[in-house]
Structure 1
Amino acid sequence: MKKLAGLYLVIDPSQAHESLLKKLHSALKGGVDIVQIWDHWPNDQPRGAKLEFIQRAKELTKDFQVPLLMNQDWSLALETGLDGVHFDQLPADFQTIQPRLKDQYIGLTVTNNMEVVQLAEQNSLSYISFCSVFPSPSVQSCDIVQPDSIKNAKEISNMPIFLSGGINQENFGQLKELPFNGIAVISGILNEADPEAAAKKYKAKLQDLDYSD
């Protein structure tokens, strides 16, 4: 499996599905490299509607050869044939689950706790994602990440590092001194009138920073 890097888009299935899928298609045209379905379904969302949405999202990402991951719900990721799962925190029975996710991407949200980074490294996860680099209404449960935490993670781990939380076109330049392989974005793309153009702008900024090092 190739290492993940680049522009990581998180989509929120609590939004109207038709509109969201159109935005996803536009963002993929703009060069998004990875897509994650946030485990944020409406409380009354029928199971059939979930499966239909995932299948349609999967068809779009497949057309662009972009991996599609599920947030937290690893069993749903397996059932629908997705490319992996992103955990906000590892399940208590992860050692039992991990063999079932063989040959799939497994990511983990980390903050300033280096023990969690070490845990991800010990379990040979596919990548880690720091949350939250900047204040963001979509990640209120995350502490603000200290720059030294990201630098320390680079010293103790070979995993790709993603940065997430409140990253936009205006504050992107503040990341230039940090070691990372990609950024995760929600509103910075999906709330824009033209998601394709927004994705292209992020991609250009990533290339300017030579983020893949």
Structure 2
Amino acid sequence: MEIRGKAKRNMGSGIYLIVDPAMDESILMNKLNLCLSEKLAAVQIWDNFKVNQNIIELINRICEQCHAKNIPVLINNRWELLNNSLLDGVHFDDIPKDYTSIVRSVIHPFISGLTCNNDLTHVEWASKNKLDYISFCSIFQSQTANSCEIVNFRTIHHTSKNYGLPIYLAGGIKPENLHRLDELKYTGIAVVSGIMSSDAPNESIKKYAHKLNNL
């Protein structure tokens, strides 16, 4: 497994898929394989591992599948896993306490992102520390994003106008309400249950992608 000195992959536009590692592993890998038949911006592994789960083994299986399509894989919060796995980056749910030390500790370049809300200090911090992207949560009411406040569209307008950060939108986004985002400038959408709860997740991706064809 080659890690040290590996090149930094780039995130794309469109659908940023989030997967739950607590899902039955065979089901998870089969669904991920179907998803990878469609265009994805990136894949994030939610920090929701089961007790006694072989975390590194599962992460590397997911990475190997995604990397075959040159799709980057990020971990939710657990940045310390970057050094002993094939992961490409980390998504922080909140501003980390000592990001400078984290950057020094990781032995290769990595993608970094941050969840933002109506508090623009998060956006300002992400911009100052040169993160690769931010994700606004929650755009709409959502069971999987129930810890996020609803983001005011004015906050997103201000951010897209005044900061050069790629913006992903998360929380309660469905193909049938995507038209409500037409007034916003954004790079892509982060989706969990809207895709992975489907028996045909690739078909769900197609429905989202059809609405996102202007990205």
Residues 1:138 and 2:130 are matched in the alignment: no
Is this contact kept in 2: 1:112–1:145, CA < 8 A? yes
Is this contact kept in 2: 1:5–1:160, CA < 8 A? no
Is this contact kept in 2: 1:30–1:198, CA < 8 A? no
Q: Paired residues, what number? A: 206
| 1:45 alignment counterpart | 52
Amino acid at match of 1:88: D
Specify which of 46, 60, 76 is matched with residue 71 of structure 1.
Answer: 76
How far apart are the structure 2 equivalents of 1:24 and 1:45? 22
* Equivalent position SS for 1:29: coil
Residues 1:183 and 2:183 are matched in the alignment: no
| 2:208 alignment counterpart | 202
Q: What is the root-mean-square deviation of aligned Cα atoms in Å?
A: 1.4
- Correspondences of 1:51-130 after superposition (within 5 Å): 51-101=56-106, 103-130=109-136
**Distance of aligned partners of 1:4 and 1:31 in 2 relative to their CA distance in 1, 3 Å threshold:** closer
Residues 1:19 and 2:24 are matched in the alignment: no
* Equivalent position SS for 1:35: strand
**Distance of aligned partners of 1:73 and 1:30 in 2 relative to their CA distance in 1, 3 Å threshold:** same
- Structure 1 gap segments, 5+ residues each: none
How far apart are the structure 1 equivalents of 2:164 and 2:149? 23
How far apart are the structure 1 equivalents of 2:93 and 2:85? 20
**By percentage of residues, which structure has more helix?**
1
- Shift of residue 128 of structure 1? 0.1
- Shift of residue 45 of structure 1? 2.9
- Structure 2 gap segments, 5+ residues each: 1-7
TM-score, with length taken from structure 2: 0.91
Amino acid at match of 1:140: N
TM-score, with length taken from structure 1: 0.92
How far apart are the structure 1 equivalents of 2:207 and 2:82? 30
